[in-house]
Every structure is written in C-alpha cells, then in structure tokens.
Structure 1
Amino acid sequence: MSVKTRAAVAFGLNEPMQIVELDLADPAPGQVMLRMLASGLCHSDLHAMDGKLAQRFPFVPGHEGVGEIIALGQGVTDFAIGEHVIPYLIPECGKCTFCTSGRTNLCVEYRARRNSARSPFSLDGETIAAFMELGTFAEKTVVWADCLVRIPKNAPADHTCCIACGVTTGLGSALIRAKVSPGSSVAVFGAGGVGLSTIEGARLAGAARIIAIDTNPAKEVIARQSGATDFIDPRDIHNIVQHIMEMTGLGVDYAFDCVGHPALARQTLEMTNAAWGVAMCVGVVAEGVEVSVLPTNLYAGRTWTGSLMGGAKRADVRRFVDMYLAGDYSLDHVVSHRLTLDEINRAIEMMKTGESVRSVIVYEG
C-alpha cells in the first residue's frame, strides 16, 4: 500500500519546483523506504533542471541526503529499521565487471539508474521520476539497498548529507583519483562545494601550495579556511595559465576543474607540470559538449583524466564520514544556509547567484 509524501517536483525545463503531495510506493525487493532528515543542494540537481544533463520530466531532484530507514523490502538483510544512512549516488551491485574488477567505483547499475523510467513516486497515476532513483527532495523516498552507507546516529544530518556527493567528490578526487602527494602544488578552479572539498583533500594529503581560482572574491576567506594558500580571481589576470606557470616555475603538480567548463578543462591541463602534471575534470560539463587539447601538451607525460564521484565507493564515503566526526576536516564554513522544503526555490536561486556555499534542506520531524 502506497503512502503519501510531500516533495519538490520539477515539472518542466527551467521551471521553479512545486511542492506537491505524491504517492510513494512500498519498497520492492532489494529496496528500503527512507524518512529524509536532510538533503543538500548540488549543482547536478540544477544541471538536470536546466537541461545540462539529460533528464526525464517531471521528476523529484535531490541526491545528497541522509535519511532514516522506516521500511524494508523483501530480501534486505544488511540494514535495519531505524538506522541512519546515506543513499549514495553510485551503487555496488557486486556482480558486474566493474564491481568485480577492484579497479573502479563505476557499476553498471549507475548507468541504469542515471535517467531511469523506474520510480516509486506518482501523482494522479502518472509516474514522477526520481533523480538517479534517489529523489531526496522528498520527505520520504524509496531507494535501493545496494547504494546505502550506514552512518552513526550522532552524525549531524545537516552536515553529513553533503558528504553524500559534494564532499566525497572533492575529497575523493584529491585523495583517491589524483593521489595528491605530500609537498606538491595544486590548483583548483571553482571554490564551490566540490572545489572547497578538493582543496580540503589536497590539504589532508599534505600539499605544500594550494591555489584556489574563482571569480567570486567573497570565496577567498572560505577557500583559505579549507586549506588554500593562494587565491586568484582570474578576471584580474590576463593569462591564468601563464600566471600559474610564473607562480610555480614549472606548473602545478595537480590541477582540478571543479566548475565543468571546456575552456577551464583545457587550462587545467596546460597549467600543470609538462612532465608529470595531473589534470582532472571534476565538474559536470553539459552533455554533448566536447573538450579539446593540443596533443603536444600530452607528449612529455602529463595525465588528463576525469573523476566520477572522486572514485569513491561506499566504504570510502563511510571513511569520509568518520574523518569528519574525528575532526579531520570541518563543514561549518561549507554549510552556509539551512532551509525548509518550502524554501527550496530560494535555495536554488542562491546557488545560481553564488550567495550560498552549500544550502541544506532540513526536514521536520
């Protein structure tokens, strides 16, 4: 028997979300029902709403959440009612070639759920899609157990929800994918939620110099709080690549594009050390848009690569939660606004304008 839940629904491209009451199906075998505690707003949600990512409409956005398990589907034995969990963007089926390889966090189920027609949500008999089959902008949702990360109940939901995506992507990009080395130099385009966490990851890895690059000068203070040693507004620089080369001598050892722009992706590569530099595309580039580089920028040994959720598997997400609880890094300066579900469109506008660093929807009850 289905239950009712309030949710934020995007009914059309570039339209404000509407708060409506939806029917929520019972969990199928292998699924659980969650009562959401908090959900962060991520640019990926915005990209799905504005067409940068292909997405079925109407849909319930949201993928950066923490919830409490309130019902179990048949066959779910690894989790119990009452436990607090993160529904992680990347599942682990444990059976596909990706999962059994031990070489990647990718899973075939990730691709299957990316823009799935399956959804537990409906309105007047019409299916309402759930972003990534998560849909955490709802007071209750149903997700697959193979994507759940068990977390301690004392983990504050308004902070921990950010670890579900932005924090994990940033920390993982620096610590897992790039494997930033102690004493190295790092440049990061974008001081948003992901960029700040990439900076944090570089700091935790022991980087000696971390250069934050952002067009919003208000981000300098928070970037330095996250570990940046330098801050550059690229609008003040004639040639950002040349400037970084002059600052570092031979270029940075690692560079990250956490914005998702083709020009920045290229500059990220060009500003790295020609022999061993590692450039990483972290931010989401619009589907169908190409990035390019001169082959001569690769011949001497540079690496140009990407990062899917920082290369993190579920165990890594739990490790990042434990690191946060241990005080290895803080999210006090990252979570800038806490709002109710009814205020979600305001949160979206603040994300667009850069007024917020990370807004979090906190659910009542």
Structure 2
Amino acid sequence: MGKKKPSSSDAQLKLFSAIFTDIVTRDTQETMEVPFLSLSKKPRFTPINYTSNGVKVIVSGGEPYGIANIWDWDLIMWLLSQIRQALDFGEPISRKVRFSRRAFLKEARREVGGAQYGRLEKSIARLKNTTVTTTIRAPEGKTVMFNWIEYVEIDRDTDGYLQNVVVILPEWLFEAVCERKLILSIHKDYFLLTGGLERWLYRFVRKQAGNNKSGWTWKLRTLHERSGSLQRYSDFVGYIRKIASKQQLLDYKLNFFSKNKEYFLHAQRVFVKENVVTEVEVPPSRLVNFLSLKTTTYEKAKQIAPGYDIYALEDDWRKATAKNSLKLQNPDVAFLAWCKKVAERNPLYSSNR
C-alpha cells in the first residue's frame, strides 16, 4: 500500500472530487459474496439477516425509503472506483467525495434528464437510510454499525433537481477500497444488466468463481441463502434457470443442472479479449494533471458562471486543454478564466436579474 487512509479522528475531512472517466469499475469482495442489498426495485422494509460460519450481517431500512437496492449500489461502486483510481495515481484521497450528476450518470451508462436526477436522489436517500450491522472486519468479539452513506449535501439546479453532491462514505467501505485485496474489477457492461437477480448473480459468480480455469459449482439452495432474496425457493430456481438458459452472463458461461433431486449451477469464466476487464489501466491524461483544483476554486467558479453546472464546465475545460496540449502553470486560474469566458459568451442570468 502506498497510502494510509486518514485517521477516523480527523476533525475535518478533506474534499475529494470524483472526476475520472473511462476507468475500471471496482466492487468490494465482501458485499459480493454475502447479502447486503435488496434485489428488487420495490421498496424492501424486511431486514436482511444472514449468519454463516461466524459471519453475521443485518441490514435494515425503515420508512419511507427501505433498504438500498442493487441499482443504488451503482453509485457506491462508482465512488469507490474513483477513490481507488486516485490512490493508484498517488493522488490525495478522502471518504468525503464531491461528484456531479452528469459524471455519475454518464459512467453508469444511464440517460441524463429530470427523471434520472430524481431516481439518483432517491438512491442516495436509500443508501443514507440503510443501516448495516456486521462482524465482517470487526475486531474479534465485536460488531460494527454504519450507513452506506454517512452524510449528504446536495446542490440543486433552478428546477429543483440535484446537480452536485457531497457525500461522506463510512470507514468500513473506505478501508476496503484502500486495500487492493478487498476489491475486484467487474465487467464493463455490468451497468447494462437490467435484472436485480441477474446483477447479484454476476457479482457473486465474479467473486466466487473468479478466474478459476475449471469454474465453480454451487447448490441452488446455497445461492438462495447468499442472495438474501425474499422469493420462494421454487421461484428463485426458476429465475436462475432462465438466466442460465442464455448460457452466458457477461464473461461467465453458465450451466444449470440437477443431480439427486438437487439443483446446481456451474459458472466458468470465458476469456474473450474484447470483453475482459483487466487491472491494467492507462491514466486518463486529460485528468491526471488537474486532480487538485482547490475547493475555493469551485466556489469562485459558481459566482463567475451563475446557473452553470460547474463540473460540466470543468469537464469541457479539461478536454479542451488536453486537445490543445496546453501546459498550465496555474490550473485554478486557467479554469476560472474559462468559466468567465463561457459566462460572458452565453450568460444564463442577466446582470440586473
């Protein structure tokens, strides 16, 4: 490890801006192999209660939001991937993260618009509302309790939709992403999977089967228990059978079969060059040199270009700078000058408004 995580006793967390694009998506191994999330878009208020081999997990979430679901988890994976990318590049990191709606939705391969902004805010609310109690990575004889998001601060646009967000992640997640052995890369097309059980199955198989040449086989009863699903076992078997009938789930070949009146699933990774996500990454040159814009620079930019999505302006500025191969002595000054030029050319508010 090249960096040590900030101490929990830090009185003031530094702000980390999530700005990387086209990076490998990571997930935490522990959340991939035991149930931590609802698999349905319908609000779930029934707690997840899982105990096995000394591991205990209780996940709860009351009215009006319920427990965070597997689509809400897209945001957590993306935020952790941003932190891991910065850590790999030796940049300052923090569990206090700022991001723009546009950046997340684009990387999660979702549409951009009011409906998605509303869904994103609901996801944040469910993640904040979900309480986890677990013995995983807790000192012996102890348990830890946390929410998937500890704190949220939302900037809104003129229509009232969330625009830019600051969140504080729990130390439990932050510690995981700081330890490379506790995270795994996932397939680039994971965000395109539409079914909750399909998403869960891929994550579980990715963790359990990994790159094992001969693959791995599980009883369906084990899968049912590990999923935390509220479905009856018979219905669960039907859904897994349906998924397996397609023969492949992203980069895993699936085989559903029965033996001695018991159902089984076998998964084996298929190494197709264009589909395999690797840990070999090329630093996005248009971003690396500008990771450390000052917090005050963003505040000044909002005043210089009122009404604009500052992080969208920042993204455009980075691309233009890279395209023109500019070497900047003072990125903060250059970015503010860019904002001023854009606002003067196309003001969103009149000076006497």
Q: Same fold (TM over 0.5)?
A: no
Query: TM-score, normalised on structure 2?
Result: 0.26
